[in-house]
Amino acid sequence: MPVHKPQGIRIHARSPRVTVYADADAAARALARRVAGAIEANPRVVIGLPTGRTPLAFYRELVAQHARGADFAEVTTFNVDEFVGIPASHPGSYRSFMEEHLFRHVNVRPERRHFLNGTATDVDAECRRYEEEIAAAGGIDLQILGIGTNGHIGFNEPAPALAARTHRVTLTLETRRSNAALFGGDTANVPPEALSMGMATILHARAIVLLATGKAKAACVERVVNGPLTTGLPASFLQLHDDVNIMLDAPAAAKLRGSP
Ligand code: PGA
């Protein structure tokens, strides 16, 4: 029997469990292995997917898992959010992002890839449709998340109150700035609004993994793990869920006690 070395250092054993990896690539590899394992255990698994800079390494590793045999033919996916007013074909849309970084490289069937339509004329109906499709798929088994430096998950931005279900949101300037690269580097070109799964949509997933890398995330990660629940830091609500794993590289874990 081969001896398996620990893949990361577990520094917080109860949900939210925290695992710290040597670097961002190691964290991405571990998450891709977990997803491949979930597909092996249940080929029809329903997975919630994030966008952003952080998951790029994860998608690269997931494509590598596919090359090694992970079969996505029966997998269903739901993306967490999308910009309002941007057609799916626009290079800045999250749908384009997913095509480029994951879907063109793996065999998720087109009809099993779910996105919010940012150009829907009836936004409320579009948000309801998404909730109904998630329910019809049997709910989300594994929700993968990134986190904004302001503590947002999906596009649930810090606010006096948070929405439970899929809804239309106004993006903060901080969030628009961090998405500028998708729009020619100009924050002014980033749409001011988005559609996003709500807090309950996310928290009803059976298991959640939050991937955060880099020192810019260290302060909010520390508050997510140790701080009080507050709508000022939407990710703090992950403390309510009993199967959350926060996967970090060392810089993102730097403010946590026990961090390597
Ligand atoms: P980032 O975005 O990975 O580009 O930092 C994460 C997020 O906003 O969820």
pLDDT at 177 over 50: yes
Q: Return the CATH number at 117.
A: 3.40.50.1360
- Total tally of structural domains belonging to the chain: 1
Instruction: Using DSSP, state whether 40 is helix, strand or coil.
Output: helix
Give dist(CA 146, CA 210) in Å, integer: 6
pLDDT band at 2 (very low <50, low <70, confident <90, very high): very low
Contact 143, 50 (CB under 8 A): no
Looking at residue 3, its pLDDT comes to 37
Contact 194, 163 (CB under 8 A): no
In a domain, 257, yes or no: no
In a domain, 171, yes or no: yes
Active-site annotation, residues: 81, 150, 152, 157
In a domain, 36, yes or no: yes
Tell how many helices (H) and how many strands (E) occur in the chain: 7, 11
In a domain, 228, yes or no: no
Q: Is the CB of 54 under 6 A from ligand 1?
A: yes
Looking at residue 4, its pLDDT comes to 38
* CA 1 – ligand 1 centroid, Å: 39
Backbone angles phi, psi at 138, to 5 degrees: 95, 15
| Closest ligand 1 atom number to CA of residue 146 | 9
In a domain, 139, yes or no: yes
Q: What is the mean pLDDT of residues 205-230?
A: 97
Looking at residue 258, its pLDDT comes to 75
Whole-number mean pLDDT of the chain?
A: 95
* CA 234 – ligand 1 centroid, Å: 14
Most ligand 1 atoms within 8 A of CB, residue of 51, 58, 177, 215 to mutate: 51
Summarised one tens digit per residue, pLDDT across range 97-145 is 999 999 999 999 999 999 999 999 999 999 999 999 999 999 999 999 9
In a domain, 4, yes or no: no
In a domain, 258, yes or no: no
Residue ID of nearest Cα to ligand 1 atom 2: 52
- 120: its two tokens: 């829907």
Domain range spanning residue 26? Answer: 16-213+243-249
Summarised one tens digit per residue, pLDDT across range 25-80 is 999 999 999 999 999 999 999 999 999 999 999 999 999 999 999 999 999 999 99
In a domain, 131, yes or no: yes
